[in-house]
Every structure is written in C-alpha cells, then in structure tokens.
Amino acid sequence: MICGEGVVWKEEFPSWEGDVRAFLIATTLALSGCASHSSGYARTDGVPVDPLHEQATLAQCKGEGATATVQVNPGGPYGVVERERKEAAVVDACMARNGYIQAKQ
C-alpha cells in the first residue's frame, strides 16, 4: 500500500493467520450440515412444504402479527410477554388460514 509521499507500507500478518482462516472455513462448512432449514411448520393438506412459499407466507403473517391491534396491559414485563404471546397467536392463526400448522418436534 502506498501512503503519502511515495512511502510504501506493508501489512505483516502472523504466519498462523492462514491456518486459522482454513480452520474457521472448515468448521463453518462442517457445522452448516447441522443447520435446519425447516421453520417448524407443516402443510395441512400433506403437500410437501415449499420453503420459499413458506417463508413468504411466514413473513406476511409476522407482519399481520406485528400490526394486529390487541388489548394489552402496557405495564411491566408481563405486558411484554402478553403482547408477544398474542402476536404469536395471530401469526399461528394466519399460518393456519394459509394451510400451515406447527409441526411436532
């Protein structure tokens, strides 16, 4: 890298940096096989779940849940928990309306 009046500055990295980078990449690839792409919903009609359609439906339903007008006591942490529970109920109802139910784990 050239800095200022033609002075050349070179970054020196420790010799083990490449080994650490290779280890992190290998670990990421190994653990990515453990990741589940299922969001926990199944179709009510037995049709295999299309992940893209499910994601789009879930996003729509989460939007409905976030904007739903529900009566909640605003005071304290109980109000937050109650609001989140009611929001989850709206999302579940929306998903059911669109043919998805929560899958058994």
Mean per-residue pLDDT over the chain, rounded = 77
Domain ranges of the chain: 41-102
On the question of pLDDT at 2 being above 90, the answer is: no
For residue 92, count other CB atoms closer than 10 A to its CB: 16
On the question of pLDDT at 53 being above 60, the answer is: yes
Task: Give mean pLDDT, residues 41-65.
Answer: 91
pTM of the model: 0.57
CA distances from 39 to 35, 43, 52, 99 (A): 11, 12, 11, 14
